[in-house]
Amino acid sequence: MSLDVNTIFQIAGIGIIVAMIQTVLKQMGKDDWAQWVTLIGFVVILYMAATMIDDLFEKIKNVFLFM
Amino acid sequence: MDILQIVGLGLAATFLALILKEKNPVFALLLTSIVGTTIFIMLVDQITLVMDMLKKMAETAHLNSMYVATVLKIIGIAYISEFGAQIAKDAGQTALAGKIELAGKIVILVLAIPILTAIVDTVMNLVPRVGGG
């Protein structure tokens, strides 16, 4: 339960930090690097989301589809 | 106490999503879907209690377990497809959400085929045969 809440704050933190890094990189004139940073942050968060949704589907399978 | 946790979590996530949305809309969407998943996972234990009660009642009433299993499956499919459709709707993909809901409805209909067949058979047995065949 506390792990799940931690995940949510982690995602918000990653999002904000990635936005900051993006702004700084853009001001330095490195637009391609900014793109990469966003992409990597997105992949990390997507992995976390996929793990959790997989967990949810397993639980729902156990509750509803298993007699 | 659990309801307080869930409501607090939802409100905190709402504000975080509000901040994220102006910087990175994709991250905000993923955050919302993860919060939805978390809330659902927290609710699964309670749903299990309800389902156990339903199963016990069905056993007491000597219902055919196949029908109960089908009904439970239908409820699960309805929850899952609603969950997916709402996330897709949040992302602005209304058409995709409609397709997910359509898929859920059709799968439910397919699952209900044995029950429908049983009903039709019962009714056909009740009706007296005409034509003296």
For every one of its 67 residues, what pLDDT tens digit does chain A have, with 9 covering 90 and above?
556 788 888 888 888 888 888 889 989 888 888 888 889 988 998 998 899 889 888 888 888 876 5
Q: Which domain holds residue B122?
A: 64-133
**Is B94 part of any domain?**
yes
Asked if B27 lies within 8 A of A11 by C-beta distance, the reply is yes
Six-digit token string for B33: 């879907």
Closest CA to B14 of A42, A4, A12: A12
ipTM value, please give it.
0.78
Asked if B79 lies within 8 A of A64 by C-beta distance, the reply is yes
**Is B120 part of any domain?**
yes
Asked if B30 lies within 8 A of A9 by C-beta distance, the reply is no
Q: Give the C-alpha separation, B71 to B77, whole Å.
A: 10
Three-class DSSP category at A55:
helix
pTM, rounded to two decimals: 0.79
**Is B80 part of any domain?**
yes
**Is B7 part of any domain?**
no
**Is B119 part of any domain?**
yes
Q: Model confidence over B18-28: pLDDT tens digits?
A: 988 888 888 88
A59 CB neighbours in chain B (<8 A) are 41, 44
Q: Give the C-alpha separation, B28 to A43, whole Å.
A: 14
**Is B93 part of any domain?**
yes
Q: Which domain holds residue A39?
A: 2-64
**Is B39 part of any domain?**
no
Q: Give the type of residue at A41.
A: G
Neighbours of B99 (CB within 10 A): 13
Question: What total of structural domains would you count in chain A?
Answer: 1
